[in-house]
Amino acid sequence: MELKEKLISSFMAFENLVDVDLPVHDVRSEAIKRFESQGFPSKKEENWKYTSLNNVLKHNYSVFPKHDNAIEYNDVKKYFIHDIDTYKVVFIDGKYASHLSQTTHEGIDVCLMSSALSKPKYQPIIENYFDKVATKDGLTSLNTAFSCEGAYIHIGKNISVAKPIQIVHFSTGSEAALMLQPRNLIVVDENSHVQIIERHQSLTDNPVLTNSVTEIYADKRAIVDYYKIQNDNENASLIDNTFIDQKRESVTSVHTFSFGGKLTRNNLNFYQNGERIDSTLKGVTIIGNKQHVDHNTLVHHIEPNCESHQDYKGIFGDSATGVFNGKVIVNKEAQKTNAFQANNNILVSDKATINTKPQLEIFADDVKCSHGCTIGQLDESAMFYLRSRGIPEKEAKALLMYAFSNNVLSSVKIPEIKQRITKIIATKLGVNIGFDL
Amino acid sequence: MSKYTEDDLREELKTKEYEYGFYTDIESDTFPVGLNEDIIKAISSKKEEPLWMTEWRLESFRAWKEMLEPEWANVNYVKPDFQAISYYSAPNKKPKYDSLDEVDPELLETFKKLGISLDEQKKLAGVAMDVVVDSVSVATTFKKTLNEKGIIFCSISEAIREYPELVRKYIGTVVPQKDNFYAALNSAVFSDGSFCYIPKGVKCPMELSTYFRINQAGTGQFERTLVIADEGSYVSYLEGCTAPSRDENQLHAAVVELIALEDAEIKYSTVQNWFPGNAEGKGGVYNFVTKRGLCEKNAKISWTQVETGSAITWKYPSCVLKGDNSVGEFYSIAVTNNFQQADTGTKMIHLGKNTKSTIISKGISAGKSQNSYRGLVQISSRADNARNFSQCDSLLMGNECGAHTFPYIEAKNKTAKIEHEATTSKIGEDQIFYCNQRGIDTEKAIALIVNGFSKEVLNKLPMEFAVEAQKLLEISLEGSVG
């Protein structure tokens, strides 16, 4: 595979750019070796049975982009949740854009991975958390090997962060094809609360491949709400790897809204290392054309009395393909686990495909685990009801689809995000729903 | 059929060991161990097969040599050494019986221990038996009644000799020679099995039944079953299995092909109770079976299975719903105890319009066993208005066992309606308490609850089988209270 060789050889060039004396560099060197032996996943692997990377990997991606691109806030304002005050960590072609960002060190650290990796005062955190919960598979290892930039967020004990944090990655298309490997680390200490919004956005039609890794650590009783908005253009592909390590009584939710991109693969992994943990995974996918969205989730129940809730809705039009591969593992010590998983899909075109595999692996006997999965159409009688009241077909359809995905939206805690998503849905369905929530 | 009372059950529960673990010393005509083209030719000539059949076997063997043993299933075991198995064994005295008196008394004794006295079966159940002891069928009953209706029910080797055109037309059409590793092996070396043909418009008046039995030490069993239901016909086919207790692992790689032509219906029921290995997980049968049915227009195939035995089960009875309006059903109970491992489920391939499928799977795991459901529902883009309902329930007893579900759902048609549900639970303490309170001891309460849990599937079994299956469930779970 060409790209693989190219990446391995660029690692040496990469070593010239970063400080190789840092302890983290040993982690990187180990990681590139792992990537060398494992490479990119192929369809022969069970987890990649329905998603082929071949089409995405064929471009000649440049790994070190030039970065002289100044973009003005007004040009990209629409990609932010701009109607509320937020901290912002913004990157352009993988480089930090200070003029668009708003970071802080007051009480909490919302800053850059590059400084966290190099400055001594962050070393204890980096040593304890960096690359600890992330798995050692090929793609994650590749990211680890090239990890140098991304968002670094550390919330100390007993802090409720006043405003949400936005992490936005822009790519400008200054290169014919670009590969980005952002690396985020989020550490939330005891009793703290934080809300984070993440977005990847390509500003031109040049192909972009993002292989992102985010590690989230939620300590005792911490609350973390994470929102991923994926509405990129049709030449941008995203492989998003998120690993969440939860301690006792923490509550973590991840909402994934997938509305665009050529290929989107979400690897979302929760590890419950403590009792009475609550994990929520929700997602809405509405795609068309030849887009492909793959949700690959894992919830690993390791200790007793925990809960997990998964709810993924998908609407697939044109020749789009959707994949849902949800895995719940309940260890034998994890008694009294409640794990729920639901995946509902609507196919609106004859050429669309949905492949779903809700999987349970259970080793404990005193548990309540269920999964449900449906593939169906819009209810004809509901359609008739709306039509008979003078609502045109297109709008009626949109209303029903909106209602279909509303379960997921209802648990979004930031109203502005809810409004934004509603608007995106309305645009996707080509209607003006005529109301904001 | 004599009434089965609670006392009988108590007696039975006392005998914890696998009760059918005995070994009958019948002189056998066994081939040297190992597998090569000469062995295959020898099997073929032993069975007086025509040339095309020999060629067909050799073709399969050549394909098999290129194939790798599948490893995707959720089971762990020591892979069998395929060169250490003898591929043919037939009882030496092979008379053609007209009545039971002529049958080798030792053989009759075997049947007695199995509780399937031919005599009793004949009279009470009205079941025609085609008993297979070590690969060669030795007794066939009720042949005359079937003959009158034009139904062919015989061993597959007989069918190859007597009805070559039928066999040649259909064999390998549903499970191709190269379908998978074990199917290829079976196609190369299958020793015997059953063949059944129901002519146009005939409704088979009785349940057709074959008891399989692995006997000779060190012989693998490679059964081949072919059931053809011609247009508008109906047949209910029963298959039940027991095997002697052995220390070395025995391999069983069977292939079952069902063909339901237009408007035909096939009901295929299995009770499988092969030696599961002892409480330490030693020994036991490896059961790697390929079962598949093909439905033409308006046809229906229904699989019902009760799986309690075998150390390793690897089995996915499937339906290819090729014709419009065809129906596929799968009802399964899989019980694993001690160190048993089961990876079983079904595939429903919807190709025709308005096709329907139902999957009800009940998994019960106890002891240190692992029980997996693995299923595929596939809706092709031409299959308008396809409908599927799947339900997979797992019951766990004790915290050393595991229950797993791997449902694959692939839909390519917007008119498809698919529902899949799965639950995992344990027997509620309140349920046990309720029973205890009413003077039912815990062991019996569990039997009761398990029976209730599996009722939906048990109800689908023919009467005689249902009784046997219930008994089996209780015995299989004996000693797992904890």
Say which residues have a Cβ less than 8 Å from residue B193's Cβ, sequence separation at least 6: B132, B155, B156, B223, B224, B225, B226, B254
Q: Which ranges in B225-336 belong to alpha helices (H)? A: none
Confidence class of residue B2 from pLDDT cuts 50, 70 and 90?
very low
Q: Is the pLDDT of residue B121 over 90?
A: no
Beta bridge partner(s), residue B303 = B268, B330
Cβ separation B418–A374 shorter than 8 A: yes
Chain B contact set for A371 (CB, 8 A): 405, 420-422
Interatomic CA distance for residues B397 and A280, integer angstroms: 28
Q: Is the pLDDT of residue A70 over 80?
A: no
Q: Is the pLDDT of residue B212 over 80?
A: no
| Percent of chain B surpassing pLDDT 70 | 76
- Please give the radius of gyration of chain A, using alpha carbons only, rounded to the nearest integer: 21
Say which residues have a Cβ less than 8 Å from residue A154's Cβ, sequence separation at least 6: A108, A109, A122, A125, A186, A187, A189
pLDDT at B24: 53
Cβ separation B410–A372 shorter than 8 A: no
Q: Is the pLDDT of residue B103 over 90?
A: no
Say which residues have a Cβ less than 8 Å from residue A76's Cβ, sequence separation at least 6: A100, A170, A201, A203
pLDDT at B105: 60
Q: Is the pLDDT of residue B213 over 50?
A: no
Interatomic CA distance for residues A272 and A304, integer angstroms: 9
Single residue among A244, A273, A302 that ends a domain in this structure: A273
Taking residues A382-397, what's their average pLDDT? 90
* Chain segment B38-65, per-residue pLDDT in tens: 888 888 888 888 888 899 999 999 988 8
| Percent of chain A surpassing pLDDT 70 | 98
Interatomic CA distance for residues B287 and B250, integer angstroms: 8
Chain B contact set for A357 (CB, 8 A): 406-409
Q: Which domain holds residue A404?
A: 378-437
Confidence class of residue A1 from pLDDT cuts 50, 70 and 90?
low
pLDDT at B254: 87
Q: Which residue of B has its CA nearest to A348?
A: B414
Interatomic CA distance for residues B336 and B402, integer angstroms: 10
User: Least CB-CB distance to A375: which of B381, B401, B409?
Assistant: B409
Taking residues A199-212, what's their average pLDDT? 90
pLDDT at A216: 95
Alpha-carbon distances of B228 from A394, B152, B298, B352, rounded to whole Å: 50, 10, 15, 20
| Percent of chain B surpassing pLDDT 90 | 23
Instruction: Determine contact, residues B326/B265, Cβ cutoff 8 Å.
Output: no
Q: Distance (Å) from the C-alpha of residue B326 to the closest C-alpha of chain A?
A: 20
Q: Is the pLDDT of residue B437 over 80?
A: yes
User: Mean of the per-residue pLDDT values for chain B?
Assistant: 78
Taking residues B51-80, what's their average pLDDT? 85
Residues A399 and A261 occupy one common structural domain: no
| Percent of chain A surpassing pLDDT 90 | 43
pLDDT at B123: 35
Collapsed DSSP state (helix, strand, coil) of residue A210: strand
Instruction: Determine contact, residues B315/B341, Cβ cutoff 8 Å.
Output: no
ipTM of this complex: 0.77
pLDDT at B330: 94
Any domain includes A315: no
Residues A387 and A248 occupy one common structural domain: no
Lowest pLDDT segment from A411-415, B253-257, B454-458: B454-458
* Chain segment B370-424, per-residue pLDDT in tens: 899 999 999 998 999 999 999 988 888 877 888 888 889 999 888 889 988 888 8
Q: Which residue of A has its CA nearest to B398?
A: A365
Structural domains in chain A (count) = 2
Per the structure block, which two tokens stand in for B246?
């052995």
Interatomic CA distance for residues B15 and A200, integer angstroms: 66
- Please say whether the dihedral angle defined by the alpha carbons of residues B464, B260, B255 and B306, taken in this order, is positive or negative: negative
Instruction: Render the burial of A223-252: b for 16+ CB within 10 Å, e for the rest.
Output: bbbbbbbbbbbebbbbbbbbbbbbbbbbbb
Residue ranges covered by each domain of chain B: 6-477
Nearest to B403 by CA among B422, B418, B428: B422
Interatomic CA distance for residues B353 and B242, integer angstroms: 40
Q: Is the pLDDT of residue B139 over 50?
A: no
Beta bridge partner(s), residue A184 = A214
Cβ separation B415–A375 shorter than 8 A: no
Q: Is the pLDDT of residue B100 over 70?
A: no
Per the structure block, which two tokens stand in for B265?
């219906």
* Chain segment A254-307, per-residue pLDDT in tens: 999 999 889 999 999 999 999 999 999 999 999 988 999 999 999 999 999 999
Any domain includes A338: no
pLDDT at B206: 78
Q: Is the pLDDT of residue B217 over 70?
A: no
Per the structure block, which two tokens stand in for B481?
């209270």
Nearest to B180 by CA among B103, B98, B91, B289: B289
Q: Tell me the pTM.
A: 0.81
Chain B contact set for A355 (CB, 8 A): 408-411
The answer to whether residue B119 neighbours chain A at the CB level (below 8 Å) is no
Interatomic CA distance for residues A46 and A424, integer angstroms: 33
Q: For an interface test with B, give the residue of A294, A331, A348, A362 to mutate (most B CBs within 10 A).
A: A362
Alpha-carbon distances of A277 from A303, A306, B62, B75, rounded to whole Å: 9, 5, 55, 31
Size of interface A-B (CB pairs under 8 A): 116
Instruction: Render the burial of A200-216: b for 16+ CB within 10 Å, e for the rest.
Output: bbbbeebbbbbbbbbbb
Q: Which residue has the tokens 């930039």?
A: A149
| A52 burial via Cβ count (<10 Å: 0-12, 13-18, 19+) | middle
User: Least CB-CB distance to B399: which of A350, A365, A376?
Assistant: A365
- Please say whether the dihedral angle defined by the alpha carbons of residues B472, B473, B476 and B482, taken in this order, is positive or negative: negative
Instruction: Determine contact, residues A356/B409, Cβ cutoff 8 Å.
Output: yes
Q: Distance (Å) from the C-alpha of residue A304 to the closest C-alpha of chain B?
A: 13
pLDDT at A168: 93
Single residue among A250, A273, A296 that ends a domain in this structure: A273
Chain A contact set for B396 (CB, 8 A): 362, 364-365, 367
Residues A9 and A136 occupy one common structural domain: yes
Of A177-186, B71-80, B301-310, B438-447, which one has max mean pLDDT? A177-186
Chain A contact set for B398 (CB, 8 A): 365
Q: Is the pLDDT of residue B269 over 50?
A: yes
Say which residues have a Cβ less than 8 Å from residue B10's Cβ, sequence separation at least 6: none
Q: Is the pLDDT of residue B471 over 50?
A: yes
Cβ separation B421–A367 shorter than 8 A: no
Taking residues B193-219, what's their average pLDDT? 72
pLDDT higher at B464 or A44: A44
User: Mean of the per-residue pLDDT values for chain A?
Assistant: 89
Confidence class of residue B15 from pLDDT cuts 50, 70 and 90?
very low
Interatomic CA distance for residues A425 and A435, integer angstroms: 12
Instruction: Determine contact, residues A212/A222, Cβ cutoff 8 Å.
Output: no
Q: Distance (Å) from the C-alpha of residue B440 to the closest C-alpha of chain A?
A: 23
Interatomic CA distance for residues B233 and A392, integer angstroms: 50
Q: Distance (Å) from the C-alpha of residue B30 to the closest C-alpha of chain A?
A: 41
- Residue A332 DSSP label: T
pLDDT at B102: 53
* Chain segment A117-138, per-residue pLDDT in tens: 888 888 888 888 988 898 889 9
Q: Where are the strands (E) in A61-182, listed by range?
A: 87-92, 95-96, 108-112, 151-155, 165-171, 178-180
Q: Which residue of A has its CA nearest to B404?
A: A361
Angle at alpha carbon of residue B426, lines to B425 and B432, rounded to 5°: 140
pLDDT at B214: 46
Q: Is the pLDDT of residue B117 over 50?
A: no
Nearest to A344 by CA among B418, B267, B368: B418
Instruction: Determine contact, residues B386/B351, Cβ cutoff 8 Å.
Output: no
Per the structure block, which two tokens stand in for B332?
């399964």
Q: Is the pLDDT of residue B293 over 90?
A: yes
* Chain segment A158-176, per-residue pLDDT in tens: 999 989 999 999 988 877 8
Angle at alpha carbon of residue B364, lines to B362 and B370, rounded to 5°: 115
Taking residues B81-105, what's their average pLDDT? 58
Q: Distance (Å) from the C-alpha of residue A243 to the closest C-alpha of chain B?
A: 23
Q: Is the pLDDT of residue A67 over 70?
A: no
Interatomic CA distance for residues A346 and B251, integer angstroms: 44
Residues A106 and A245 occupy one common structural domain: yes
Q: Is the pLDDT of residue B140 over 70?
A: no
Single residue among A273, A303, A331 that ends a domain in this structure: A273
* Chain segment A79-122, per-residue pLDDT in tens: 888 888 999 999 988 888 888 888 888 889 999 988 888 888 88
User: Least CB-CB distance to B424: which of A355, A358, A362?
Assistant: A362
Residues A64 and A191 occupy one common structural domain: yes
Q: Which residue of A has its CA nearest to B365?
A: A365
